[in-house]
Amino acid sequence: MARKKRPESPTAAALDPRALDYSASVSYDWRLYPYDIRGSIAHTRMLGKQGIIAEDEATAIVNGLEAIESELDADTFELREDLEDIHLNIEAALRVKIGDAGARLHTARSRNDQVATDLRMFVKDYAGMLTAGLAALQERFCDLAEKYADAVMPGYTHLQRAQPVLLAHHLLAYVEMFDRDATRFALCHELADVLPLGSGALAGVPYPIDRAFVASELGFERVSANSIDAVSDRDFVVDFHHAAALTMMHLSRFAEEIVLWSGPEFGFLRLPASFATGSSIMPQKRNPDIAELARGRTGRVYGNLMAILTTLKGLPLSYNRDLQEDKEGLFHSADTLISTVGVFSAMIPELEFDTERMEEAAGGGYALATDLADYLVRKGVPFRDAHKAVASLVAHAQGAGKSLSELALEEYRRFSPLFDKDILGIDVRWSIESRDVPGGTASRRVRRALKEARKRLAGR
């Protein structure tokens, strides 16, 4: 049998080799192959059903595509740089595999609507994976909050001790953040759930296609309403980047707290050896490398968001080759976020808190001053006047080198005659339990919040 000639790219035949290298994307867009083959199979079945191509040709194309997918899965498929992208690689291999029938695959579609379809399927898949990954991460935070349900820590504003809170209350703040992130990824999935295939290059196609059939085959909820918008729209990519950037920001905030809390200046947290490294010259060090890397990689994810926004801002309708630049940043952000969520989910159960150190710190730094002001308010003093009296009291204690708990009742009464002996009973635990309002840090409110968080996660 004569060896079949490998077809050339229809766009690359006359290109200078440097231009071809510059414009090729197969080195990264190869990872779209599962979506490209799924889309091509659905498109082919529709062409056969509608009588646009013969049924036997449709069958041959589907069989050929499935064989190519098996080769790609097994990493035995030869990717050719001269064919620019994964889409042309698959189409060229199909023609070699099944002959002239392979040339009919591209009937009633353009690479413009083909690529847009692949990318939407990618975003839908990864948005779903991240929603699931965030749920697992939230479970780990809930587990840690439950483990340290009674632990007390200082709450901070301006990175200065402010008021005592439960550690569980602090940890559950991140569960709320990740709830919002999961909502954004669910919205990403919804907004990407529009089939552009059938839009052609930009004006639609002159064939009796059945777009609803293809949408059903590929799991799309609806089809695009405007062919020009369909091939040029990358809002769904921006949406994914935006959700990824916010999620990385939330992870980075916790990463920063891991860095701070594990240092000797705080001493609240001991890093697990499996998620920390030593110094090359200082044997005493245990460095929070995982947290620092997450903090650093957040900037790269931000950069990907700005890159796609900058790419899109000057593009006239409809398709422009600039849109080829939509993929590398998307892949990078998706991979970075999935790996960061995964490593944090593994690390969080291994964190160990020094609860004695935290509770001691919670009572230091005059953190109960607000409780003293509230005490006077309950005695009828306007809050601003109470604030002023307690500020003077704190200044006196600082000058005397005393903590609030070391002050005698007579010293309290110098600043307000309304202070009575029960003021001596105000401590860290009293302060926490007094915040018994919805969303507050009182232990029963935190237990209820933990229960509600578990309930939400179970229903996701």
Q: What is the largest CA-CA distance in the chain?
A: 108
Single-letter amino acid code for the residue at 431? S
Nearest 5°: phi and psi at 161?
Answer: -60, 130
Beta strands in 251-403 (DSSP E): 269-270, 352-353
What does DSSP say about strands 222-223 and 194-195: parallel, antiparallel, or unpaired?
parallel
In angstroms, rounded to a whole number, what is the distance separating the alpha carbons of residues 307 and 286?
A: 36
Here the contacts of 51-58 (C-beta below 8 Å, separation 24 or greater) are 52/107, 52/108, 52/207, 52/208, 52/209, 53/104, 53/107, 57/101, 57/104
In angstroms, rounded to a whole number, what is the distance separating the alpha carbons of residues 311 and 326?
A: 8
In angstroms, rounded to a whole number, what is the distance separating the alpha carbons of residues 451 and 433?
A: 18
Q: Is there a catalytic annotation at residue 279? A: yes
Other Cβ atoms less than 10 A from the Cβ of 417: the count is 9
Cβ-proximal residues to 261 (8 Å cutoff; 6+ apart), any chain: 267, 268, 269
Place of tokens 């004569």: 2
Q: Do residues 320 and 115 make contact, with C-beta atoms less than 8 angstroms apart?
A: no
User: How many degrees, rounded to 5, is the angle at CA 327 between CA 94 and CA 331?
Assistant: 100
Q: Do residues 454 and 149 make contact, with C-beta atoms less than 8 angstroms apart?
A: no
In angstroms, rounded to a whole number, what is the distance separating the alpha carbons of residues 318 and 111?
A: 13
Q: Do residues 87 and 106 make contact, with C-beta atoms less than 8 angstroms apart?
A: no
Choosing from 27, 279, 392, 405, the catalytic residue is 279
Which residues lie across from 194 on neighbouring strands? Answer: 222
Q: Is there a catalytic annotation at residue 106? A: no
Choosing from 158, 189, 250, 345, the catalytic residue is 158
Alpha carbon 159 to chain centroid, angstroms: 26
Q: Which residues are catalytic?
A: 158, 279
